Amino acid sequence: MRRLALLIAGFVIWSAAFLAVYALQATGCAIGMEAGLLRGLLILCVAVGVAAGAVPLWLARRGGVLGQSATIAAAAAMASTLLTLSGVFWLGPC
Amino acid sequence: MTPIRRHKELDRIWRTAPGWGRLAAVNHTVIGKRFMLTALVFFAIGGLLAMLIRIQLASRQSEFMEPGTYAQVFTMHGTIMMFLFAIPFFEGLAMYLLPKMLGARDMAFPRLSAYGYWCYLFGGSILIAALLMGAAPDAGWFMYAPLSSATYSPGINADIWLLGITFVEISALSAAVEMLVSILMLRAGGMSLDRMPIFGWYMLVVAGMMLVGFPPLILGSLLLEAERAFGLPFFDPTRGGDPLLWQHLFWLFGHPEVYIIFLPAAGVLSTIIPVFSRHRLVGYRAIVAAIVAMGFLSFGLWVHHMYATGIPHLSLSFFSIASALVAVPTAVQIFSWLATMAAGRPRFSIPMLHVFGFMFVFVCGGLSGVMLAMVPFDLQAHDTHFVVAHMHYVLVGGFVFPMMAAAYYWLPHMTGRQPVQHLSHAAFWTIFAGFNLTFLGMHLTGLLGMTRRVHSYDDPWWEVLNFISSMGGFVTTIGFALLALDLILLMLFGRPFRRDPWRAGTLEWAMPTPPPSYAFASIPMGDADGPSLAAGKGLLATPRGEMETLGVDPLTGRPEQIVILPKPTFLPLLTALATGGVFLSLLFKLYLLAPVFAVAVVALFLRWTAAMPAPAVLDAGQGLMLPNHRAARLPPSLLAMRFIIAADGAAFASLVFGAGFLAISAPGWPPADWPGFGWPAWVAVAGALAALALPGRALMPQVVTVAGFAAILWHMEGVQDHAAPASLAALATWGAVHAGIGAVLAGWAAGQEDKRLSVQWQRYAALVTVVAATFPLLLRLLAEGAA
Amino acid sequence: MLFPAGPAAQGIATLWWWMFWGGAAIFALMLALFLWLLLRPAAGQGIPARWWIVGGGLVFPLPVLAALTGAALWLGEGTLGGTAPTRIEAEARMWQWQFRYPDGSATTDVLHLPAGRDVEIVVTSPDVIHSFWIPRLGGKIDAIPGHANRIVLRADAPGEYGGVCAEYCGTGHVDMSFTAVAEADWGRE
């Protein structure tokens, strides 16, 4: 079951990062947080998400067909975190 | 033991009794076929409604239907096709195929299959009855509040949607739990996950998606029904609610739903294309990763139905990029299929013709989908006929064509007869031509500015395009009639065959066709073919009077237990009838009757557990001694409980999200006076902590928790005045219900040796209580921060 | 939107035509590949599987999607969330539109705009959800009860443009259309 969990771990992290960034942005805009600070926090969130995505990638590096699928999925998830949330680097935060 | 004698003995154990006994059926072959057949009936009704829409739109200023009737027709067309056709149809297909492909004799919880089927049938019938009586839902299939709220839809119409669909969704959730457990645990001996037929992987991910995708919709429906029936203003902006909350909850389900429908079809393609390419599937590992990626990414798209609601552009960018990105795993799958065809020697046949239909139509729909993912373009095309065209290209291309391929491929398995191919080509080309005639031009109609859900229009050019679409619609219908005729002819006059006419090699063809009630005479272990299984060279070859199948280690497929399945019984039907009683009494506002039926449902469910076998160690054949599931380390029911808790957790998370969302986004917050839980919250938490400390003896603690929440609800004021107290009341009710279930389970487990099922629930319910009881503080922080 | 009459609609139309021709090319390519492999068995046997999956699944779609999404977001950043000094309030109700201008005047089902100038339209609703849309000028914005949404539009030339409610809002939904009149001398400030 641990290896099955590894298969989805990368994308679970993606989901968490996605929700965290979306919630932080919505809350930040609603409470009128200063734009520069909000952008900094959002970028920090994305960075943490991408970094955390490296953990399942490293754990999945060995072990059979399922391990290879897990490696692909973890790499895809890491790239997805960076890509889907890349708007925080250049779009207006609110 | 001879194969004939083995067949007779097994069939005596497994078969469904004739006559009234059919109502007691629990067998996956029977239930799977019932699901598919019922779904096809609903498909015909939905198709009829589509024809009514096309008649209405064929000319300008048509007098065919009045606006109110037209609204019922388009709402029901969407609702039926999504909820009563697409999802139940693939559930039925999966139910029929999964055990046979994976080497099991049945699904893990046959009575749950039957219960799900009855819920689906009864819930669907409520909707159709309403349609016949002219009281069908009429606010569009996504039921946007406040149009669907009591103020603007005072009739019973919207209640029918909310309660009827929730009733049907019970079958989706039960199917999800059942598929997850069956795929993970009930397989042939030695079939490890990474050697599982790819269809199993698709359904594993789909079931996981259903498990977390449906609860937000169910929760949203319950909240909206609570607003309509009891005035709790979750979606009313004049009282601290927000119509956008409905859209978030609906699309949080509604977008994954499209992929929930597409992925089973992709699984069919991944199964069929290799067979007709005469080469094993290329890129198995990449496909598994792609399915997982799709399963997750499809949840990150829900706001792409809400670009025009005034959400900041940065938030839209997350959803826009995710929507574009989901094309990547789709492309990986499509190119894996192309690679399979390139590596093999493809042969042409009717299923491949429909695969061509899929390629043509789905690629087209996928490309317009990427277009719609782009925010500025979507702001133009949103809510126009461009979207209508796109959606039909995706759903017909991504579901109907693959299912027609599946019909030609597996109908021989169900009937034991091979196609004769008189009408097959004509039927395909009629559907294909009619479909494109209907929807290709509709892209243009939309780009010219025709919005959806209008019953009349003025522009003469639109009339030309609409007339072509209507003619195309009728051609498509003729095509489906031809298809139906062709399939009926196949069933009646097809050529009988011996095993495996397609030379497929998957396990479902290693049995006689039509399949016997027990599916496998003996359970495959390692490499196996049909004749050797019939000769009893697999596991569990000696009938013992019980319905036995093999339980394996989820990952490696090592045989671990013998799962003894329940015999046919009327209990699922009775339980579904009682469940229907709950829904009908809510529908007709007989609120005193609903608890009576609810108690009946609980009592009947407890009755299900009466006939459990005693723990034992049994001979599985081939020198293997295995415990039965009662004596096993991880029985299927325990795994199922974890999944049920996950689904429930998704609904609870949606509720917590919903309350937080209102505090931040809705107008009219914070409320004039803050509702609090007061001292009873401590009583509830104390009960929860006691249940955590003593989960094996949780009856009294959970009763205390229920009492705490009851006191909270008793003192709660102003639930109809503002969404804040309404949300807190919803959380308290949630906590009370979960603690109540905990108390019932604890009482039940008191008489059981194995209390693990109850213990898991007690821990989860205690967690729910702690969150629910402390949430008012967090909500207040959020609301005052936002103010 | 095929006949744009303002900068917002013009940008979207350009995006559309790029996507249309690109999409048509990709569609033709996919279909040609499929038919080639189906009708000429063994035609593709020389190409290793990895090339298909990595090439078709990653190398080809990722840059195309990145370029398209980047361009669309850049376009959206320019048109969404902007403001303009001239502000008109549009209230959508079942089933008519009421427009209020800076000088305090109001009209029903006819929207008077200054031609050649950005206007900010603030859209609200007292009852159910509606959606404000003038197809030839730009995208939609929903009128959601409890929220005030804004959209910036410009009509390049004087003239009449049709407007509709784009979100289904009950049996009168079809009749909830309006006319936008762009005027050279507007005089409602």
Please tell me the distance from the alpha carbon of residue B267 to that of residue B283, in angstroms, as a whole number.
Answer: 14
> What is the residue extent of each domain of chain B?
636-786
Q: Give percent of chain B above pLDDT 90.
A: 87
Please tell me the distance from the alpha carbon of residue B450 to that of residue B432, in angstroms, as a whole number.
Answer: 25
Contact between B647 and B253 under an 8 Å Cβ cutoff? The reply is no
User: Which residues of chain A neighbour C50 with C-beta distances below 8 Å?
Assistant: none
Looking at 3.20.20.210, 3.30.70.100, 2.60.40.420, 3.40.630.10, the CATH number of the domain C87-183 comes to 2.60.40.420
User: Which residues of chain A neighbour C66 with C-beta distances below 8 Å?
Assistant: 83
Q: Kindly report, residue by residue over B184-234, the tens digit of the pLDDT.
A: 999 999 999 989 999 999 999 999 999 999 999 999 999 999 999 999 999
Gap from C176 CA to chain B (nearest CA, Å): 11
Tell me which chains share at least 3 CB pairs under 8 Å with chain B.
A, C
- The phi, psi pair for B621, rounded to 5°, reads 90, 165
> What is the residue extent of each domain of chain C?
7-79, 87-183
Residue C93 bridge partners (DSSP): C96
Tell me which chains share at least 3 CB pairs under 8 Å with chain A.
B, C
At B635, the amino acid letter reads P
Q: According to the model, what pLDDT value does residue B501 have?
A: 87
Gap from B527 CA to chain A (nearest CA, Å): 19
Please tell me the distance from the alpha carbon of residue B26 to that of residue B114, in angstroms, as a whole number.
Answer: 5
pLDDT confidence band for B282 (50 / 70 / 90): very high
> Closest-CA residue in chain A for B195?
A65
Kindly list the distances between the CA atom of residue A88 and the CA atoms of A22, A46, A93, in Å, as whole numbers in the listed order: 10, 8, 7
Least confident of B312-321, B429-438, C31-40, C78-87: C78-87
Rg from Cα positions in chain B: 27
Q: Kindly report, residue by residue over B398-440, the tens digit of the pLDDT.
A: 999 999 999 999 999 999 998 877 899 999 999 999 999 999 9
Nearest to A59 by CA among A44, A46, A40, A78: A78
Gap from A87 CA to chain C (nearest CA, Å): 9
What's the CATH architecture for B636-786?
Up-down Bundle (1.20)
Gap from A68 CA to chain B (nearest CA, Å): 7
User: What mean pLDDT comes out for the span B471-490?
Assistant: 95
CB contact under 8 A, C15 and B376: yes
Residue A87 contacts C, CB cutoff 8 Å? yes
Contact between B498 and B529 under an 8 Å Cβ cutoff? The reply is no
Task: Provide the pairing of β-strand C87-93 with C119-124.
Answer: parallel
Q: According to the model, what pLDDT value does residue B669 have?
A: 87
Nearest to B763 by CA among B674, B666, B693: B693
Q: According to the model, what pLDDT value does residue C1 have?
A: 64
Shortest CB distance from B293 goes to which of A3, A12, A73? A73
Say whether pLDDT at B552 is over 90: yes
Looking at residue B47, what DSSP letter applies?
H
CB contact under 8 A, A4 and B194: no
User: What mean pLDDT comes out for the span B652-661?
Assistant: 95
pLDDT confidence band for B247 (50 / 70 / 90): very high
Kindly list the distances between the CA atom of residue B594 and the CA atoms of B158, B580, C153, in Å, as whole numbers in the listed order: 19, 10, 53
Looking at residue B519, what DSSP letter applies?
S
Please tell me the distance from the alpha carbon of residue B36 to that of residue B44, in angstroms, as a whole number.
Answer: 12
Gap from B179 CA to chain C (nearest CA, Å): 29
CB contact under 8 A, C53 and B383: no
Q: Kindly report, residue by residue over A34-81, the tens digit of the pLDDT.
A: 999 999 999 999 999 999 999 999 998 876 778 889 999 999 999 999
Rg from Cα positions in chain A: 15
DSSP run (H or E) holding C120: strand C119-124
Nearest to B666 by CA among B54, B195, B237, B102: B237
At B189, the amino acid letter reads G
CB contact under 8 A, C26 and B367: yes
At C39, the amino acid letter reads L
CB contact under 8 A, B376 and C139: yes
Q: Which residue has the tokens 């091979």?
A: B418
Chain centre to alpha carbon of residue B457:
37
Q: According to the model, what pLDDT value does residue C85 have?
A: 87
pLDDT confidence band for B533 (50 / 70 / 90): confident
Q: What is the mean pLDDT of chain B?
A: 94
| Chosen from C128, C141, C153, C165 to mutate, greatest number of chain B CBs within 10 A | C128
Please tell me the distance from the alpha carbon of residue B243 to that of residue C124, in angstroms, as a whole number.
Answer: 13
CB contact under 8 A, A92 and C73: no
Contact between C156 and C115 under an 8 Å Cβ cutoff? The reply is yes
* Cis peptide upstream of residue B501 (ω within 30 degrees of 0): no
Tokens coding A47: 């960075």
CB contact under 8 A, C81 and A92: yes
Nearest to B475 by CA among B439, B441, B430: B430
Alpha-helical runs (H) found in chain A:
2-30, 35-59, 64-84, 87-90
